[in-house]
């Protein structure tokens, strides 16, 4: 840990109210970013937008690492950072942005943030974590929530494109969970600021490669509106928010951090409803509530362990 990073942690440890405010700000910005991700598709392809977003995000993150004097990661970690970047940034956001062509932003945010459910399942299988009563209850409720959203769309004769998009986002959530497990296996000893910056760099390279293959020659409209979308999601939502979030994770326990992220789909649904006029259906409300409650339950300890 660099001296500057340590100073920031020291200040935040003394001001717990500031930490809570930062958590709220970060989750609001992430929730709002879903609206911009959806709206950006009016101006460019999903992969082109992701290239701009994470290219700018990677440069900003590397600049933060330089300013905080965190330094370069040891060579033995570079191959793992490439793998993590391909999973966490390239695969997840290529799938999500393509799916946003067909799926509403609010619903997409809920489906992607089912990630803790898949992480819990994989942690039991791969990391040997115990499946407690509360985890079983939480995972069951969360899975029922997913089925409520997904199953309802199937039974009501929803467009095959929407169903396809929802499947892609669920695959992205599973991929995100896999990247979390990979991080815990291979990169947990590394500074989280280094992990964020360099996995985003390699992920951006992966996205750029796919963009050249899939969207070469397609129109890209750059105006005040589209540039705002790119800069906001790249600099604020990707680079700065993740940097702040990793610092916060050094101050709060994993349960608090995980449950706090559940604010993101809530804000995603709220902003999508207000700004994109997306309709909140009964199945969406019930399913979203079940997923959020399920993830929260899965993070709690049994009464005997509390």
Query: What pLDDT sits at residue 89?
Result: 96
At residue 291 the predicted structure's pLDDT band, cuts being 50, 70 and 90, is: confident
User: What is the mean pLDDT of the segment spanning 127-132?
Assistant: 77
Tell me 145's DSSP state.
H
The most confident of the ranges 2-11, 26-35, 141-150 is 26-35
pTM of the model: 0.87
Query: What pLDDT sits at residue 303?
Result: 44
Q: Is the pLDDT higher at 25 or at 147?
A: 25
Q: Name every residue whose Cβ is closer than 8 Å to that of residue 176 and which is 6 or more positions away in sequence.
A: 87, 88, 92, 112, 115, 118
At residue 226 the predicted structure's pLDDT band, cuts being 50, 70 and 90, is: very high
Dist CA 79 CA 84 (whole Å): 9
Task: Give the chain's mean pLDDT.
Answer: 86
Long-range contacts from 91-95, C-beta under 8 angstroms, 24+ separation: 91/172, 91/175, 92/172, 92/175, 92/176, 92/179, 93/50, 93/53, 93/54, 93/172, 93/203, 93/207, 94/46, 94/47, 94/50, 94/207, 94/210, 95/168, 95/169, 95/171, 95/172, 95/175
Is-contact 277 285, C-beta < 8 A? no
Dist CA 137 CA 62 (whole Å): 41
Six-digit token string for 78: 């570079």
Residue 304 in this model has a pLDDT that exceeds 60:
no
In tens, the pLDDT along 155-196 reads 666 788 988 999 999 999 999 999 989 988 999 888 888 999
Dist CA 42 CA 46 (whole Å): 10
Residue 260 in this model has a pLDDT that exceeds 60:
yes
Is-contact 203 21, C-beta < 8 A? no
Q: Which of 286, 23, 18, 17 is nearest to 145 (CA)?
A: 286
Dist CA 170 CA 82 (whole Å): 23
Is residue 89 helix, strand or coil?
Answer: helix
For the chain, report the end-to-end CA distance as a whole number of angstroms.
31
Residue 153 in this model has a pLDDT that exceeds 70:
no
In tens, the pLDDT along 53-90 reads 999 999 999 999 998 888 899 999 999 999 999 999 99
In tens, the pLDDT along 90-118 reads 999 999 999 999 999 998 998 898 888 88
Tallying the residues shown for the chain, one arrives at 306
Q: Name every residue whose Cβ is closer than 8 Å to that of residue 239 and which is 6 or more positions away in sequence.
A: 56, 57, 58, 60, 61, 64, 200
């Amino acid at each position: 840990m660099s001296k500057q990073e340590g100073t920031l942690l020291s200040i935040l440890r003394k001001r717990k109210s500031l930490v809570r405010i930062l958590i709220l700000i970060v989750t609001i910005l992430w929730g709002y970013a879903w609206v911009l991700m959806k709206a950006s598709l009016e101006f460019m392809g999903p992969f082109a937008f992701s290239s701009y977003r994470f290219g700018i995000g990677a440069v900003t993150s590397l600049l933060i690492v330089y300013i905080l004097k965190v330094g370069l990661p040891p060579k033995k970690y570079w191959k793992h950072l490439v793998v993590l970047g391909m999973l966490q940034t390239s695969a997840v956001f290529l799938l999500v942005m393509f799916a946003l062509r067909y799926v509403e932003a609010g619903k997409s945010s809920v489906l992607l943030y089912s990630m803790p459910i898949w992480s819990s399942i994989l942690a039991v299988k791969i990391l040997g974590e115990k499946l407690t009563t509360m985890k079983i209850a939480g995972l069951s409720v969360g899975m029922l929530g997913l089925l409520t959203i997904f199953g309802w769309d199937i039974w009501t004769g929803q467009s095959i494109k929407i169903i396809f998009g929802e499947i892609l986002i669920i695959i992205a959530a599973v991929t995100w969970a896999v990247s979390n497990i990979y991080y815990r296996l291979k990169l947990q000893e590394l500074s989280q600021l280094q992990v964020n910056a360099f996995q985003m760099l390699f992920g951006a390279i992966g996205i750029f490669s796919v963009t050249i293959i899939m969207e070469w020659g397609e129109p890209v409209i750059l105006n005040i509106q589209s540039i705002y979308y790119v800069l906001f999601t790249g600099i604020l939502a990707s680079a700065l928010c993740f940097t702040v979030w990793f610092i916060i994770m050094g101050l709060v326990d994993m349960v608090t951090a995980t449950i706090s992220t559940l604010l993101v789909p809530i804000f995603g649904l709220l902003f999508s409803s207000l700004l994109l006029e997306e309709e909140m259906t009964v199945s969406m409300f019930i399913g979203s509530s079940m997923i959020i409650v399920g993830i929260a339950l899965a993070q709690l300890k049994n009464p005997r362990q509390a």
